[in-house]
Structure 1
Amino acid sequence: MRLIRSLRTLALLALAGSLAACAPMAKRSDYTAFRADQPRSIVVVPVVNRSVDVDAPDYFLSTIARPVAERGYYVFPVHLTKRLMEDEGLSDADLVHNNDPAVIARMFGADAVMYVRIERWDSKYMVLQTTTTVEMDYTLKSGKDGKTLWSRHQQLAYTPNNSGGGGLAGLIGAAIAAAVEKAKPNYVPLAQQANASAVGLVGVGLPAGPYDPKFKADNAEF
């Protein structure tokens, strides 16, 4: 079973990667404000959840720190950040998102604040086929003056492939694959791929940060 789960996860990541590769090129972002601010550290605040899955924010938080850190930024521990904000009476994500970014940044000594809103985190069954979708909005704001430094919208979907061929066997295979995905959607690998694409795609992601060897050397790409 462990091997099957591992193969399933690898297949999901591969398919998500191919979806990202086939997507149309996004319009190049404006990095004027970002370059002027030059953030070094980022605090990710509690996620606003617009999906129907109440567990989506906690699952998502487990996927966001690594890709941002790999771009060369110090990322404050996300779950510790959430706990500290709850201790300060900031447990409501909507209230946090409406608060002054400079106030939040000062709480942690951060240069910038990242806000994420989950729009979709669901798995839908239609005619022997289940499609799992994650959709997020990302916004990075300056900890100095609250100015928006970077924003991105990202959506990825996964539909299991049925390799059982045609006929009755194919229908049975499709039904089983759809049922497995519907019963236990594998959101985390899909969210990981969505985050990696959101922050890492040339021209629309985050430029290399101060802890990346490409810092300031990738200006032509961003």
Structure 2
Amino acid sequence: MRIVKPESLHLQTYAILKEEILEGAYRPGERVVEAKIANQLGISRGPVREAFRMLIQDGLLIYNDGFVRVYHPAVQDVIDLFQCRESLEALAINLAIEHITDEDKQKLQNNLELTYEAYEQKQTMELSKLDQAFHDIIIQVSKNKQLMELLENIRTKIHYMRITMIKGEFYPSFVKEHEKLVGFLLDGKVEEATNSMKVHIQKGLRGVLMYIGKVQSR
């Protein structure tokens, strides 16, 4: 962790803590102490307090029993988030068909190629990033700012759940599903693209719940 003085301290602190939480540096439910983090970063407690406030707003930290703790998702939280994600990303790909450019199409093709490479080499963390990037491209192409904002919070929490609850595991067919989605998107097939996105998200949820069930039964 390192602070660059000329830049806004609370934004730097927020970025550092958010990255650490999303990378699994803190355990779910672990208490985070304002004074300790301020000391580690060599700054006053004010910027840390503001960074905590932002992370609570993101849902990555929670205020519980007088203490600030790292978000500890329950199984129902996973279900709720995926249900929201299903509807919103189905809308995103629908809108993306209207607005996609040649540059966007190339971005999606490049993502698919890199995803296949990462999958063949079993690069779990890289797969996670590429999967996120794939969905981000479609969301950005939708050109709907409100939709982007709604999905940002969901996206962050799902990424965190993937790291903390399922350790970055993926179901094998997701790569081919991405390819199928791109095909429908490029061909302008609205109904097929929308339905395929819903099925894709539903399958992702089933995979997460299956993995959680295996871990809990050990």
Shorter-chain TM-score above 0.5? no
TM-score normalised by L of structure 2: 0.25
Identify the structure with the greater helix proportion.
Answer: 2
Identify the structure with the greater strand proportion.
Answer: 1
